[in-house]
Amino acid sequence: MVTPPSPLPPAADAVPLDPLLRVEADARRARRPYRVLGLAEVRRNYREIQMGGSPGAAIAAIEDDAIGDRARTLPVRIYRPMKTPRPPLVIYFHGGGFVIGDLDTHDRNTRGIAAATGATVVSVAYRLAPEHPFPAAPDDAMLAVRGAPEIARRLGADTSRIFVAGDSAGATLALVAAIAARDTNGTRLAGVVAIYPGVSRISSTATASALAFGDGNFGLSNDDIAWFREQYLPDKASHEDWRAAPALVPNLAGLPPTFIVVAAYDALRDEGIAFAERLRDSGVAVELRVAAGMNHGFMGAPKPPAAVNDTLRAIGQWMSDLPR
């Protein structure tokens, strides 16, 4: 059964895939599929692509550190904004299907968030599959959010304005960490930023957007998604765990204000829209932004389209407008 897409703004339907992203999507389509390339080559190719291109926004300082507790610590990279007294703190989780990506590959993303929001951004190096399958990544995300108040105090950030954010797999982790914080009376979060998250039941690719854009002609394919999930979720029982698919959580009430970004040409688009609608129906203050002409991963594109800065400005304005 095909799940119909949510209505999109006319502009999102009308605007073709951005030419910069079309070049990248065509180049990716010309390469062998992830499952044929193998893990080492997928990681190497992704790193080479992401480390090229635009250097990203200018910020005041970057430093490496760690966050955690006595049992375990996680490497983090701290991005300090330009001249912001007592800035907000953003705990950021990078994308990459829980399998690829690192602090370096997502440097543009974290620089952009710091510059646009005036926040101190703490980018977290959570453990990756298949070396560390589920639930290692969500465990690390929860650990990072539990430690956020202490690192905020240490960095001179505003402990009353702690946000959690991420893109793709990292957006999923941000949502998971926010749900866990709600359920355990943990760190009080000011908001969540989830950029093209994957939230649905693991076996489902039956949304209209997955059928329309999952063939590989627009970048991320359904087969790529399946390959990531095979690495991350080798135990079939985990497919029914809400920490792998936040849409399985029966009750979303009580979550902090949430900003969700979806890309018009993304196989994951419709599940992100449906999750935003569920949040709204649950009484959560949610803002949904559909990036017209964009595909999955556009926020970290080596040659960023104009929509990247537009989206960053919208996130910054949203954070600034939230009640304190």
Active site amino acids: 168, 266, 296
The 3-state DSSP class for residue 229 equals helix
Torsion sign over Cα 226, 232, 237, 238: negative
Query: Token pair 């992203």 is at which residue?
Result: 21
**Rounded CA separation 199/12 (Å):** 21
Tokens of 81: 């904004």
Residue 81 near residue 120 (C-beta atoms within 8 A): yes
Residue 135, preceding peptide bond in cis (omega within 30° of 0): yes
Query: Token pair 């375990």 is at which residue?
Result: 72
Strand ranges in the chain using DSSP code E only, listed in sequence order: 61-68, 73-80, 89-93, 120-124, 162-167, 191-195, 258-265, 286-295
